[in-house]
Amino acid sequence: MAPPVLVRQMRNGVEESIHRGDIVEVDAGGRMIRALGDPDHLVNLRSCVKPFGVAAILEAGGQKAFSLEPPELAIMASSHSGEDLHVRTLQAMYRRTGVSQAALATGIEGMPLDALTASRLARDGERPGEIRHMCSGQHSVFLLLCRLNSWSTDGYWLDEHPAQVAYREAVATAFGTTPAKLRLGIDGCGVATYAFPLREIARAYAFLADPSAVASSDPRAALAGSLTLVRDAMLAHPDLVAGTRDRIDTSIMKALPGRIISKGGMEALRGLAILPGPRARSQSAAASGMAIKIEDGDGYDRGTWAASIEALAQAGVLDGQPLRVLGRYHRPITPDPHGRAAAEAVAAFELAPVGELAR
């Protein structure tokens, strides 16, 4: 069966195209709270893996060895825009830890993501360095692991390199599995990506939202301390998680400070870690995680934007002023050359609680 329609692209009342996809919300134990479509849809994590991978350097003792600060943890979990803020944060960490910026092997195609920064570099005749790549923060985890353990950085992106092995172990633990059971692919920046069903991604993000919620007997509990540090760093520095201009992850986190982590991945995947707290129409709710996937990859972002904001609104996480602040993501417009709204993406789904669907 085709996934349900999540978003319709409308122009003057005429439906021009549709975006299908799947949404699931679960608690830290994996109990499904809300779902639409196939919760077992297998997808590649892509950049949604990054918060969990930072645990690798923390578990290895990197925070104490390198005096890692919250902004540095946040940018290692990021898909940043390549702005000067991001570059300065990484370069300061490299200088202090003795890591060479020249060791980065991300590539530079299509970077930096920030249009104004890219225009300025082009105007000045400056070729963007790999530090401006959106994955340079993630690659910094591998380089710090190499520095900490005196490993060569040659081929650090290859599956058999010890830095990749350590990263893989952290990811496996966060998802409650073993490295041998992980399904690997090659990500756009050359390192491994990992495939999981959507419900497992949502469960991992629920764990990120409240690492203390898992029982001590749960193997994932071994990472609770490290993921608490990563969570708090991302919450405190949303500009480093994505960027200062037109990045939905940063905008969501700023609209709900201290309540949510939003992390997108390529091909229209988004993970949302929703911390415990009040929701619309209820006194309070425990932590949960949500995973959203747009089937067509959503090259225009509009489907992912509209579906993400609408899903949070229907889950009672977003309402009132925060929802209004995020209006441009909720119903993103396509302007004409004169700035007029020519078309808009409209969310068109009902994310009912699983209990209601069962009756």
**pLDDT at residue 283 in the model:** 66
pLDDT single digits (tens) 8-35: 999 999 999 999 999 999 999 999 999 9
pLDDT of 275: 98
DSSP-derived pairing of the beta strands 5-11 and 341-347: antiparallel
pLDDT, mean over the chain: 96
Question: CB–CB of 297/232 below 8 Å?
Answer: no
Q: What is the pLDDT of residues 111-151, one digit of tens each?
A: 999 999 999 999 999 999 999 999 999 999 999 999 999 99
Model confidence pLDDT, tens digit, residues 214-269: 999 999 999 999 999 999 999 999 999 999 999 999 999 999 999 999 999 999 99
Mean pLDDT, residues 151-174 taken together: 98
- In the chain, the percentage of residues whose pLDDT exceeds 70 is 99
- The pLDDT value given to residue 357: 57
Question: What pLDDT is recorded for position 359?
Answer: 41
Q: What is the pLDDT of residues 267-286, one digit of tens each?
A: 999 999 999 999 987 767 89
Average pLDDT over residues 198-210: 98
Q: Specify the pTM.
A: 0.96
Q: Is 97 left (phi over 0), alpha (psi -120 to 50) or beta?
A: alpha
DSSP states of 59-89 as a string? Answer: HTTHHHHHT--HHHHHHHT------HHHHHH
Check the CA dihedral 152-155-161-163 and report its sign: positive
Q: Considering Cα of 43, then 49, then 52, then 57, what sign does the dihedral take? A: positive
Average pLDDT (285-305) is 95
Which one, of 359, 300, 295, 305, lies nearest residue 335 by Cα? 300
For the ranges 58-72, 171-185, 234-248, 344-358, which has the lowest average pLDDT? 344-358
Residue 148 tokens read as: 């900490």
Distance between CA 291 and CA 299 in Å, rounded?
18
- Let me know: does 237 contact 171? Beta carbons within 8 Å: no
pLDDT, tens digit, for every residue of 38-57?
999 999 999 999 999 999 99
Give the number of other CB atoms < 10 A from CB of residue 157.
Answer: 18
The CA-to-CA distance between both ends of the chain, in Å, stands at 22
Q: Give the pLDDT of residue 299.
A: 85
Query: Rounded to an integer, what distance in angstroms lies between the CA atom of residue 76 and that of residue 98?
Result: 16
Q: How far, in whole angstroms, is CA 31 from its chain's centroid?
A: 21
Cite the DSSP H helix spans in 175-301.
Answer: 198-209, 224-236, 238-241, 248-255
